[in-house]
Amino acid sequence: MQVVDIITRHPNHDVIIGIDTLGKEDLLLHISQALGTKIWVWPERLQIMHLLGFDDIFTTNSNLTRVRAVPRYSFTFDTLESLNTIHPTIGIMPSGLPWDSKIFNNDDKLHQYAYPVLYSEHSCFSELQEFMKLVQPSIVTGIVSSSFCYINPRHYFSRLNNFNYEKAESLKGNRNKSFLRPTGSNRLKVRKEGKFKIAGLSFHRGRVAIMRKERRGAKIAETDALCTSKLNVKMG
């Protein structure tokens, strides 16, 4: 696995891995088993790991390991710079978001510290299609409609025999008017006044988010909400 290879190539570095509050347990377990090491997690995450039965793999004692899984929101360029003033440190950000790698690569100064790795626990299209065939729902609705990467599942699954496209269309109502569905390239442009423009569509970001970004540098967590489409399934 690419994450293990990166860690192995830096035997004298501390390693921080940005993860969410839930998820990526399989990735952390693989790293621990492949390297034969414990992994540091923050106390709340350790409680979750204990509930999952992983008592001997994770620790809150930083002296026992050089590999630390940190909250995604705390994984910033400023953090990496500060840690490298104390001890050589690399950061790994496993993510399924295609624009995360661009965030890293745009800053040559930090490229030596930061490694984006494509990783996703979402089902691929073929798996979703098999699920649809097996469960045969009457209505399918995408639940990440506020994201500019939203994909309407009805477009892809309406050809299945048991999918009631007309009924699903009747439920859209006014809700779909708020969906952001840009065409062309999804290039994100940021203006100083905090206004985003995405392929002709625009919206404002909060002043708090702008101030936080100015103080702490590029914060990867701000892209958390912009994920691939999930499905909300209703049986007929």
Confidence tier at 236 by pLDDT (50, 70, 90): low
pLDDT band at 223 (very low <50, low <70, confident <90, very high): very low
User: Rounded to whole angstroms, how far apart are CA atoms 68 and 59?
Assistant: 9
| pLDDT tens sequence across 170-221 | 545 544 443 334 444 443 333 444 443 333 333 344 444 444 444 444 333 3
pLDDT score at 33: 96
Q: Which CATH number does 2-118 carry?
A: 3.40.50.12650
The string of pLDDT tens digits covering residues 103-161 is 555 555 556 789 989 888 778 788 888 888 888 887 777 766 666 556 677 777 777 75
More confident residue, 198 or 7: 7
> Residue 9: what pLDDT?
96
Percent of the chain with pLDDT over 70: 58
Question: How confident is the model at residue 112, as a pLDDT?
Answer: 78
| 119's tokens | 């990783």
Write the burial class of residue 39 (CB in 10 Å: 0-12 exposed, 13-18 middle, 19+ buried): buried
Given CA atoms 208, 214, 215, 220 in this order, what sign does their dihedral have? positive
Which band of pLDDT confidence, cut at 50, 70 and 90, is reported for residue 92? very high
Q: Are 30 and 84 in contact (CB under 8 A)?
A: no
Amino acid at 152: N
In the chain, which residue ranges form alpha helices assigned H by DSSP? 2-8, 25-35, 43-51, 77-84, 100-105, 108-111, 125-135, 153-157, 165-170, 207-216
Where do the domains of the chain lie? 2-118, 123-236
**SS3 readout for 198-232:** ECCEEEECCHHHHHHHHHHCCEHHHHCCCCCCCEE
Higher pLDDT, 101 or 128: 128
- 172 SS3 class: coil
pLDDT of amino acid 78: 86
Place of tokens 């990440």: 144
Residues 50 and 26: their CA atoms lie apart, in Å, by: 14
Is residue 96 very low, low, confident or very high in pLDDT (cuts 50, 70, 90)? Answer: confident
91-123 burial: b if 16+ Cβ within 10 Å, else e = bbbbbebeebbebbeeeeebeebbbbbebeeee
Greater pLDDT, 198 or 22 = 22
Tens digits of residue pLDDT in 37-65: 999 999 999 999 999 999 899 999 999 99
Distance CA 8, CA 120 (A): 22
- Residue 233's pLDDT is 55
Average pLDDT over residues 158-173: 56
The overall longest dimension of the chain from CA atoms, in Å, is 61
